[in-house]
A and B are shown apart, each in its own frame.
Chain A
Amino acid sequence: MPIQVKRLLIAFALFFIVFFILVYFLFPESWGDIGPYRSLALKEIADKEPKYVDTESCTMCHDSIANLKNDGEHKSINCQTCHGVGYKHVNEPETNKMDIPKGRDFCARCHALNAARPKNIIKQVDVNEHNKGEECVSCHNPHKP
Protein backbone atom coordinates (compact mmCIF):
# COMPACT_ATOMS: atom_id res chain seq x y z
CA MET A 1 0.00 0.00 0.00
CA PRO A 2 1.40 3.41 -0.91
CA ILE A 3 2.37 5.62 2.01
CA GLN A 4 -0.10 8.35 0.98
CA VAL A 5 -3.08 5.98 1.20
CA LYS A 6 -1.87 4.67 4.55
CA ARG A 7 -1.69 8.21 5.96
CA LEU A 8 -5.15 9.01 4.64
CA LEU A 9 -6.58 5.85 6.20
CA ILE A 10 -5.06 6.74 9.57
CA ALA A 11 -6.49 10.26 9.32
CA PHE A 12 -9.96 8.88 8.48
CA ALA A 13 -9.80 6.36 11.31
CA LEU A 14 -8.85 9.09 13.81
CA PHE A 15 -11.68 11.31 12.53
CA PHE A 16 -14.28 8.58 12.99
CA ILE A 17 -13.01 7.63 16.44
CA VAL A 18 -13.21 11.27 17.62
CA PHE A 19 -16.61 11.63 15.93
CA PHE A 20 -18.12 8.61 17.66
CA ILE A 21 -16.66 9.59 21.04
CA LEU A 22 -18.24 13.04 20.65
CA VAL A 23 -21.56 11.53 19.57
CA TYR A 24 -21.50 9.22 22.58
CA PHE A 25 -20.94 12.03 25.06
CA LEU A 26 -22.95 14.82 23.44
CA PHE A 27 -26.18 12.98 22.69
CA PRO A 28 -28.58 13.37 25.60
CA GLU A 29 -30.08 10.50 27.53
CA SER A 30 -33.18 8.88 25.99
CA TRP A 31 -32.53 10.40 22.57
CA GLY A 32 -34.06 8.32 19.80
CA ASP A 33 -36.04 5.96 22.05
CA ILE A 34 -39.26 6.77 20.17
CA GLY A 35 -38.20 9.15 17.43
CA PRO A 36 -35.54 11.75 16.70
CA TYR A 37 -36.06 13.54 20.02
CA ARG A 38 -35.56 13.11 23.77
CA SER A 39 -38.37 10.86 24.92
CA LEU A 40 -37.78 12.14 28.49
CA ALA A 41 -39.10 15.52 27.26
CA LEU A 42 -42.57 13.96 27.05
CA LYS A 43 -42.39 13.11 30.73
CA GLU A 44 -41.15 16.60 31.60
CA ILE A 45 -44.08 18.19 29.75
CA ALA A 46 -46.57 15.73 31.21
CA ASP A 47 -45.37 16.33 34.80
CA LYS A 48 -46.66 19.92 34.89
CA GLU A 49 -49.38 20.44 37.46
CA PRO A 50 -52.81 21.26 36.00
CA LYS A 51 -54.24 24.55 37.26
CA TYR A 52 -57.84 24.08 36.20
CA VAL A 53 -59.26 21.35 38.43
CA ASP A 54 -62.05 19.02 37.41
CA THR A 55 -65.61 20.14 38.07
CA GLU A 56 -66.18 17.45 40.71
CA SER A 57 -63.75 19.28 42.97
CA CYS A 58 -66.09 22.31 42.84
CA THR A 59 -69.36 20.42 43.31
CA MET A 60 -68.04 18.51 46.32
CA CYS A 61 -68.37 21.63 48.49
CA HIS A 62 -70.56 23.96 46.43
CA ASP A 63 -73.23 21.48 45.41
CA SER A 64 -76.21 23.81 45.92
CA ILE A 65 -74.75 26.49 43.63
CA ALA A 66 -73.78 23.82 41.10
CA ASN A 67 -77.33 22.45 41.10
CA LEU A 68 -78.72 25.95 40.62
CA LYS A 69 -76.37 26.55 37.70
CA ASN A 70 -77.11 23.19 36.11
CA ASP A 71 -80.84 24.05 36.02
CA GLY A 72 -80.26 27.33 34.23
CA GLU A 73 -79.02 28.51 30.89
CA HIS A 74 -75.44 28.74 32.11
CA LYS A 75 -75.25 24.99 32.63
CA SER A 76 -72.76 24.46 29.81
CA ILE A 77 -70.24 26.85 31.41
CA ASN A 78 -67.51 25.43 33.59
CA CYS A 79 -67.26 27.05 37.05
CA GLN A 80 -63.65 28.09 36.46
CA THR A 81 -64.42 29.87 33.19
CA CYS A 82 -65.80 32.75 35.30
CA HIS A 83 -64.16 32.14 38.69
CA GLY A 84 -60.57 31.55 37.58
CA VAL A 85 -58.19 28.66 38.19
CA GLY A 86 -59.01 26.46 41.16
CA TYR A 87 -55.84 24.54 42.05
CA LYS A 88 -54.87 26.82 44.93
CA HIS A 89 -58.40 27.13 46.28
CA VAL A 90 -58.87 23.36 46.33
CA ASN A 91 -55.80 22.89 48.54
CA GLU A 92 -56.31 25.91 50.83
CA PRO A 93 -59.88 27.18 50.47
CA GLU A 94 -59.63 29.68 53.34
CA THR A 95 -56.52 31.58 52.22
CA ASN A 96 -56.97 31.37 48.44
CA LYS A 97 -60.32 32.74 47.38
CA MET A 98 -61.69 32.38 43.87
CA ASP A 99 -62.48 35.41 41.71
CA ILE A 100 -66.00 36.79 41.95
CA PRO A 101 -66.26 38.82 38.74
CA LYS A 102 -68.43 41.94 38.83
CA GLY A 103 -69.06 44.74 36.43
CA ARG A 104 -70.76 45.13 33.09
CA ASP A 105 -67.60 44.47 31.08
CA PHE A 106 -67.38 40.92 32.34
CA CYS A 107 -70.88 39.97 31.18
CA ALA A 108 -70.33 41.92 27.95
CA ARG A 109 -67.54 39.54 26.95
CA CYS A 110 -70.23 37.11 25.89
CA HIS A 111 -73.46 39.12 25.84
CA ALA A 112 -72.48 42.41 24.13
CA LEU A 113 -74.30 42.93 20.86
CA ASN A 114 -72.11 41.90 17.94
CA ALA A 115 -73.21 40.84 14.49
CA ALA A 116 -70.61 38.06 14.51
CA ARG A 117 -72.27 36.34 17.48
CA PRO A 118 -74.75 33.72 16.32
CA LYS A 119 -78.15 34.86 17.63
CA ASN A 120 -79.48 31.36 18.23
CA ILE A 121 -76.53 30.50 20.48
CA ILE A 122 -76.21 33.55 22.74
CA LYS A 123 -78.59 36.22 24.07
CA GLN A 124 -77.20 39.68 23.41
CA VAL A 125 -77.90 43.16 24.71
CA ASP A 126 -76.69 46.58 23.63
CA VAL A 127 -74.48 47.34 26.62
CA ASN A 128 -74.70 51.10 25.97
CA GLU A 129 -78.52 51.12 26.09
CA HIS A 130 -79.62 48.27 28.40
CA ASN A 131 -80.16 49.75 31.93
CA LYS A 132 -77.21 52.11 31.81
CA GLY A 133 -75.07 52.32 34.95
CA GLU A 134 -76.66 49.30 36.66
CA GLU A 135 -74.67 46.24 37.62
CA CYS A 136 -75.86 43.18 35.69
CA VAL A 137 -75.85 41.07 38.85
CA SER A 138 -78.34 43.38 40.58
CA CYS A 139 -81.08 41.98 38.33
CA HIS A 140 -79.64 38.71 36.96
CA ASN A 141 -78.38 35.87 39.10
CA PRO A 142 -75.28 34.77 37.21
CA HIS A 143 -75.88 31.16 38.26
CA LYS A 144 -79.46 31.27 36.98
CA PRO A 145 -79.82 34.23 34.62
Chain B
Amino acid sequence: MTIDKNNYSRRDFFKKSGAIAGSVLFASILSPFKPVYAIEEPKGKGKWYGIGIDIDKCIGCASCARACKNENDVPLEPFFFRNWIEQYTITNDGEIKVSSPNGGIDGFKQILPEKDIYKTFFVPKMCNHCAKSPCTQVCPVGASFETEEGLALVDQSYCIGCGYCVQACPYGCRYMHPEKHVVDKCTLCYHRLQKGLDPACMMACPTGARIYGDLHDKNSSIVKFVKENNCVVLKPQLNTGAKLYYNSLSQEVH
Protein backbone atom coordinates (compact mmCIF):
# COMPACT_ATOMS: atom_id res chain seq x y z
CA MET B 1 0.00 0.00 0.00
CA THR B 2 1.51 3.32 -1.06
CA ILE B 3 0.35 6.80 -0.27
CA ASP B 4 -0.16 9.17 -3.18
CA LYS B 5 1.77 12.17 -1.92
CA ASN B 6 0.01 14.61 -4.18
CA ASN B 7 -3.49 13.73 -2.98
CA TYR B 8 -2.62 13.34 0.71
CA SER B 9 -3.93 16.53 2.28
CA ARG B 10 -3.33 18.01 5.72
CA ARG B 11 -6.96 17.27 6.51
CA ASP B 12 -6.37 13.53 5.84
CA PHE B 13 -3.32 13.56 8.07
CA PHE B 14 -5.23 15.10 10.98
CA LYS B 15 -8.13 12.71 10.45
CA LYS B 16 -5.90 9.64 10.58
CA SER B 17 -3.86 10.97 13.53
CA GLY B 18 -7.05 11.72 15.41
CA ALA B 19 -8.39 8.23 14.75
CA ILE B 20 -5.20 6.57 16.02
CA ALA B 21 -5.02 8.77 19.14
CA GLY B 22 -8.72 8.22 19.81
CA SER B 23 -8.47 4.45 19.55
CA VAL B 24 -5.41 4.34 21.84
CA LEU B 25 -7.34 6.40 24.40
CA PHE B 26 -10.36 4.12 24.05
CA ALA B 27 -8.19 1.04 24.52
CA SER B 28 -6.64 2.52 27.66
CA ILE B 29 -10.12 3.11 29.10
CA LEU B 30 -11.01 -0.52 28.42
CA SER B 31 -7.88 -1.70 30.26
CA PRO B 32 -6.87 1.02 32.73
CA PHE B 33 -3.28 1.29 33.88
CA LYS B 34 -2.69 -0.91 36.87
CA PRO B 35 -1.03 0.80 39.85
CA VAL B 36 2.28 -0.70 41.03
CA TYR B 37 2.29 -1.46 44.74
CA ALA B 38 5.44 -1.62 46.87
CA ILE B 39 4.07 -4.87 48.28
CA GLU B 40 1.54 -6.68 46.17
CA GLU B 41 -1.81 -7.33 47.72
CA PRO B 42 -2.30 -11.04 48.25
CA LYS B 43 -4.86 -12.68 46.02
CA GLY B 44 -6.36 -15.14 48.49
CA LYS B 45 -8.11 -14.45 51.76
CA GLY B 46 -6.31 -17.26 53.57
CA LYS B 47 -2.91 -17.26 55.22
CA TRP B 48 -0.15 -15.02 53.95
CA TYR B 49 3.13 -16.10 55.48
CA GLY B 50 5.85 -13.73 56.60
CA ILE B 51 9.08 -14.39 58.48
CA GLY B 52 10.86 -12.29 61.08
CA ILE B 53 14.43 -12.48 62.37
CA ASP B 54 15.38 -10.81 65.61
CA ILE B 55 19.09 -10.09 65.14
CA ASP B 56 19.38 -8.96 68.77
CA LYS B 57 18.61 -12.52 69.83
CA CYS B 58 20.65 -14.50 67.28
CA ILE B 59 23.65 -16.21 68.92
CA GLY B 60 24.99 -17.72 65.71
CA CYS B 61 24.72 -21.35 66.82
CA ALA B 62 23.47 -22.42 63.35
CA SER B 63 20.95 -24.82 64.87
CA CYS B 64 18.55 -23.54 62.23
CA ALA B 65 20.90 -24.41 59.37
CA ARG B 66 21.57 -27.87 60.82
CA ALA B 67 17.88 -28.55 61.42
CA CYS B 68 17.02 -27.49 57.88
CA LYS B 69 19.60 -29.85 56.38
CA ASN B 70 18.31 -32.74 58.50
CA GLU B 71 14.65 -32.09 57.80
CA ASN B 72 14.86 -31.47 54.08
CA ASP B 73 17.63 -33.86 52.93
CA VAL B 74 19.88 -31.00 51.86
CA PRO B 75 23.36 -32.34 50.90
CA LEU B 76 25.63 -32.04 53.93
CA GLU B 77 28.72 -30.76 52.11
CA PRO B 78 29.24 -26.98 51.98
CA PHE B 79 27.58 -24.63 49.52
CA PHE B 80 24.23 -26.40 49.49
CA PHE B 81 22.05 -24.41 51.84
CA ARG B 82 18.42 -23.53 52.23
CA ASN B 83 19.35 -21.28 55.13
CA TRP B 84 22.67 -20.20 56.61
CA ILE B 85 24.25 -17.67 58.95
CA GLU B 86 26.75 -14.93 58.19
CA GLN B 87 28.88 -13.09 60.70
CA TYR B 88 29.46 -9.46 59.84
CA THR B 89 32.49 -7.82 61.41
CA ILE B 90 33.07 -4.11 60.93
CA THR B 91 36.53 -2.97 61.98
CA ASN B 92 37.43 0.38 63.51
CA ASP B 93 38.82 1.32 60.07
CA GLY B 94 35.39 0.81 58.52
CA GLU B 95 36.29 -2.38 56.71
CA ILE B 96 33.44 -4.89 56.43
CA LYS B 97 34.28 -8.59 56.75
CA VAL B 98 31.72 -11.34 56.21
CA SER B 99 32.42 -14.89 57.27
CA SER B 100 30.23 -17.96 57.04
CA PRO B 101 32.26 -21.16 57.59
CA ASN B 102 30.11 -23.90 56.05
CA GLY B 103 27.09 -21.67 56.48
CA GLY B 104 27.87 -21.37 60.19
CA ILE B 105 27.52 -25.11 60.80
CA ASP B 106 31.25 -25.50 61.57
CA GLY B 107 30.93 -22.84 64.28
CA PHE B 108 32.09 -19.24 64.25
CA LYS B 109 35.53 -18.12 65.37
CA GLN B 110 35.99 -14.47 66.23
CA ILE B 111 38.40 -13.43 63.47
CA LEU B 112 39.70 -10.21 65.08
CA PRO B 113 40.66 -9.21 68.64
CA GLU B 114 37.87 -7.34 70.35
CA LYS B 115 39.78 -4.02 70.44
CA ASP B 116 39.83 -3.84 66.61
CA ILE B 117 36.10 -4.48 66.23
CA TYR B 118 33.73 -1.59 65.85
CA LYS B 119 30.67 -3.77 65.51
CA THR B 120 29.93 -7.43 64.91
CA PHE B 121 26.70 -9.39 64.62
CA PHE B 122 25.15 -12.47 63.03
CA VAL B 123 22.72 -12.35 60.12
CA PRO B 124 20.70 -15.50 59.44
CA LYS B 125 19.67 -15.72 55.82
CA MET B 126 17.02 -17.74 54.05
CA CYS B 127 14.43 -17.44 51.31
CA ASN B 128 12.54 -14.14 51.56
CA HIS B 129 9.39 -15.68 50.03
CA CYS B 130 8.95 -12.51 48.02
CA ALA B 131 5.50 -11.37 46.94
CA LYS B 132 6.90 -10.39 43.55
CA SER B 133 9.65 -12.97 43.42
CA PRO B 134 12.14 -12.55 40.57
CA CYS B 135 12.94 -16.28 40.68
CA THR B 136 9.43 -17.46 39.81
CA GLN B 137 9.08 -14.90 37.05
CA VAL B 138 12.01 -16.25 35.04
CA CYS B 139 11.10 -19.96 35.11
CA PRO B 140 10.59 -21.02 31.48
CA VAL B 141 8.38 -24.02 32.28
CA GLY B 142 6.33 -22.78 35.24
CA ALA B 143 8.01 -25.10 37.72
CA SER B 144 8.73 -22.25 40.15
CA PHE B 145 5.62 -20.63 41.50
CA GLU B 146 4.11 -18.64 44.33
CA THR B 147 1.34 -20.28 46.27
CA GLU B 148 -1.72 -18.44 47.50
CA GLU B 149 -0.13 -18.47 50.98
CA GLY B 150 2.75 -16.40 49.63
CA LEU B 151 5.36 -19.16 49.53
CA ALA B 152 7.75 -19.52 46.59
CA LEU B 153 7.98 -23.24 45.83
CA VAL B 154 9.57 -25.49 43.22
CA ASP B 155 7.73 -28.29 41.42
CA GLN B 156 10.70 -30.66 41.32
CA SER B 157 9.09 -33.23 39.04
CA TYR B 158 8.54 -30.52 36.44
CA CYS B 159 11.76 -28.48 36.82
CA ILE B 160 14.14 -28.91 33.88
CA GLY B 161 17.19 -27.79 35.87
CA CYS B 162 18.18 -24.84 33.70
CA GLY B 163 19.27 -22.87 36.75
CA TYR B 164 17.91 -19.57 35.53
CA CYS B 165 16.10 -18.96 38.83
CA VAL B 166 19.33 -19.60 40.76
CA GLN B 167 20.80 -16.60 38.96
CA ALA B 168 17.63 -14.54 39.24
CA CYS B 169 17.35 -14.73 43.03
CA PRO B 170 19.04 -11.59 44.39
CA TYR B 171 19.45 -13.21 47.81
CA GLY B 172 21.23 -16.38 46.66
CA CYS B 173 18.62 -18.61 48.23
CA ARG B 174 18.42 -21.34 45.58
CA TYR B 175 20.84 -24.09 44.68
CA MET B 176 21.08 -26.89 42.17
CA HIS B 177 20.65 -30.25 43.87
CA PRO B 178 23.73 -32.34 42.96
CA GLU B 179 21.85 -35.66 42.76
CA LYS B 180 18.36 -34.71 41.64
CA HIS B 181 19.73 -32.15 39.11
CA VAL B 182 16.80 -29.86 39.82
CA VAL B 183 16.57 -26.66 41.81
CA ASP B 184 15.96 -26.87 45.53
CA LYS B 185 15.03 -24.10 47.94
CA CYS B 186 13.37 -23.24 51.23
CA THR B 187 9.69 -24.20 51.32
CA LEU B 188 9.19 -22.78 54.83
CA CYS B 189 8.76 -26.53 55.54
CA TYR B 190 5.46 -26.59 53.64
CA HIS B 191 5.04 -30.28 54.53
CA ARG B 192 5.25 -29.40 58.22
CA LEU B 193 3.01 -26.33 58.01
CA GLN B 194 0.28 -28.40 56.36
CA LYS B 195 0.44 -30.86 59.29
CA GLY B 196 0.30 -28.09 61.89
CA LEU B 197 3.99 -28.29 62.84
CA ASP B 198 6.45 -25.38 62.97
CA PRO B 199 9.16 -25.20 60.28
CA ALA B 200 12.33 -27.03 61.35
CA CYS B 201 14.46 -23.86 61.67
CA MET B 202 11.84 -22.10 63.80
CA MET B 203 11.56 -25.16 66.03
CA ALA B 204 15.32 -25.53 66.45
CA CYS B 205 16.15 -21.91 67.32
CA PRO B 206 17.10 -21.91 71.03
CA THR B 207 16.57 -18.19 71.62
CA GLY B 208 13.38 -17.52 69.67
CA ALA B 209 15.18 -15.30 67.20
CA ARG B 210 13.13 -16.69 64.32
CA ILE B 211 9.48 -15.80 64.03
CA TYR B 212 6.96 -16.68 61.36
CA GLY B 213 3.24 -16.41 60.97
CA ASP B 214 0.25 -15.13 59.08
CA LEU B 215 0.58 -11.48 58.06
CA HIS B 216 -3.22 -11.31 57.67
CA ASP B 217 -3.81 -12.24 61.29
CA LYS B 218 -3.51 -9.13 63.46
CA ASN B 219 -2.76 -11.26 66.54
CA SER B 220 -0.02 -13.40 65.01
CA SER B 221 3.52 -13.22 66.36
CA ILE B 222 4.91 -11.93 63.06
CA VAL B 223 2.49 -8.98 62.89
CA LYS B 224 3.37 -8.15 66.50
CA PHE B 225 7.09 -8.41 65.68
CA VAL B 226 6.85 -6.13 62.64
CA LYS B 227 4.72 -3.65 64.58
CA GLU B 228 6.88 -3.44 67.69
CA ASN B 229 10.26 -3.35 65.97
CA ASN B 230 11.78 -1.14 63.35
CA CYS B 231 11.98 -3.82 60.67
CA VAL B 232 13.63 -3.73 57.26
CA VAL B 233 13.96 -6.20 54.40
CA LEU B 234 17.10 -6.96 52.41
CA LYS B 235 17.62 -5.07 49.15
CA PRO B 236 14.37 -3.07 49.29
CA GLN B 237 15.47 -1.11 46.21
CA LEU B 238 14.87 -4.22 44.08
CA ASN B 239 11.15 -4.10 44.90
CA THR B 240 10.90 -7.86 45.28
CA GLY B 241 8.19 -7.62 47.93
CA ALA B 242 10.38 -9.58 50.36
CA LYS B 243 8.56 -10.90 53.41
CA LEU B 244 11.64 -11.69 55.54
CA TYR B 245 11.75 -8.88 58.11
CA TYR B 246 14.92 -8.14 60.08
CA ASN B 247 14.93 -6.29 63.34
CA SER B 248 17.73 -3.72 63.86
CA LEU B 249 19.64 -4.63 60.71
CA SER B 250 22.75 -2.59 59.96
CA GLN B 251 22.82 -0.99 56.57
CA GLU B 252 26.16 -2.69 55.82
CA VAL B 253 24.27 -5.96 55.31
CA HIS B 254 23.49 -6.76 51.72
State the A residues within 8 Å of B (CB).
28, 31, 34-38, 41-42, 44-52, 54, 74, 76-78, 80-81, 84-85, 105, 108-110, 112-118, 121-122
Per the bound structure, the CA–CA distance linking A44 and B153 in Å amounts to 11
Cβ-closest chain B residue relative to A75: B206
Per the bound structure, the CA–CA distance linking A31 and B142 in Å amounts to 10
Cβ-closest chain B residue relative to A32: B142
Per the bound structure, the CA–CA distance linking A114 and B62 in Å amounts to 14
Cβ-closest chain A residue relative to B189: A50
Let me know if A121 and B59 touch, CB within 8 A.
Answer: yes
Stretch at the interface among B5-13, B14-22, B143-151, B172-180: B143-151
Let me know if B204 and A81 touch, CB within 8 A.
Answer: yes
Let me know if B195 and A52 touch, CB within 8 A.
Answer: no
Stretch at the interface among B23-31, B114-122, B212-220, B234-242: B114-122
Given contacts A52-B203, A115-B114, contact A34 B59 (CB under 8 A): no
Chain A residues within an 8 Å CB radius of B191: 45-50
Q: Is B75 an interface position by the 8 A CB rule?
A: no
Residues 24-58 of B at the A interface (beta carbon under 8 Å): 56-58
Q: Is B187 an interface position by the 8 A CB rule?
A: yes
Given contacts A109-B61, A109-B62, A116-B110, contact A42 B89 (CB under 8 A): no
Q: Is B164 an interface position by the 8 A CB rule?
A: no
Given A38-B142, A78-B204, 6 more pairs with CB closer than 8 A: A36-B142, A45-B191, A50-B71, A50-B191, A110-B206, A113-B110
Most B CB within 10 A of own CB, among A37, A50, A81, A84: A37
CB distance from A76 to the nearest CB of B (A): 6
Q: Is B230 an interface position by the 8 A CB rule?
A: no
Q: Is B103 an interface position by the 8 A CB rule?
A: no
Q: Could you say which of B71, B114, B120, B194 contacts A52, with CB atoms under 8 Å apart? A: B71
Chain A residues within an 8 Å CB radius of B87: 116
Chain B residues within an 8 Å CB radius of A44: 155-157
Binary interface profile of B, 58-82, with partner A (CB < 8 Å = 1, else 0)? 1111110001001100000000000
CB distance from B50 to the nearest CB of A (A): 19
Per the bound structure, the CA–CA distance linking A38 and B117 in Å amounts to 51
Per the bound structure, the CA–CA distance linking A61 and B59 in Å amounts to 31
